[in-house]
Amino acid sequence: MRNETVILVKSTLEMSEVIQELMTKLILMRITVIHTEIASKYSVEKVSILEDDFAVLINSNHPSLKKQFSDSLQEAAVHTAKNSRFCLEIDLTETMKSWYTENRDAFTSCDDIHSMKMRRTRLYVTNYSIYSHYFDCSPKWIIFLGLCWLVSAPCYFIFRKLTCSDIRVVINGEITLMTNMLPDKSESTRSHELRAVPWAYYTLIS
């Protein structure tokens, strides 16, 4: 859980406050991209592991995102009112990966990124526990892990299905890289779905 942002709610009042906050304000997520770089063939060949930190601002009121956020939060509110367990997951992983891959020249001069990992790309709202993504393996890892995965993964999926209602929202939007921000950050980003700023720069102006 150290790499995830979790909002824990215990009552309908708290859930109402969370909905109000998420639907009326920009959502700030600090996302870290960890990538293995292979240096350019025109320079001395070397491999290095680097980290890039970004402040990603999500505009939940943007027309392309509003319905996703509103519907999922209302579903979570229904579970809260019924006193049933739920976990709402808002996932930016794939969108962030695609954006970073397309724009990596802005952050690195290397020709290739050998591998990429993301931290803190998911926001959770729950009254129970967050969904575990440890079993989200590619086919080659499933083959490698073999019997261990085949025994443990189905058990977890069944247990989770019986004990908690998982609500997942995968954010598909266009991320815009911000090279400057106005003092009033909220107003300057309202016309965009998602905006990314290098974290070091964001902390200087916030």
Tens of each residue's pLDDT in the chain, 206 residues = 456 799 999 999 999 999 999 999 999 999 999 887 766 555 555 677 788 899 999 999 999 999 999 999 999 999 999 999 999 999 999 999 999 888 876 565 555 666 788 899 999 999 999 998 877 765 555 555 556 766 777 888 899 999 999 999 999 888 988 866 544 444 445 567 899 888 887 776 65
CA distance 145 to 51: 28
Cβ atoms < 10 Å from Cβ of 182:
11
Residue 75: which of 65, 89, 61, 64 has the closest Cα?
Answer: 89
> Which helix (DSSP H) or strand (DSSP E) does residue 118 occupy?
strand 112-119
pLDDT of 14? 97
Rounded to 10 deg, the angle between the 12-24 and 66-81 helix axes is: 170
CB atoms within 10 A of CB 126: 21
Where does 15-96 show beta strands of DSSP type E? 27-38, 47-58, 86-91
Buried b / exposed e along 185-195 (16+ C-beta atoms within 10 A) = beeebeebbbb
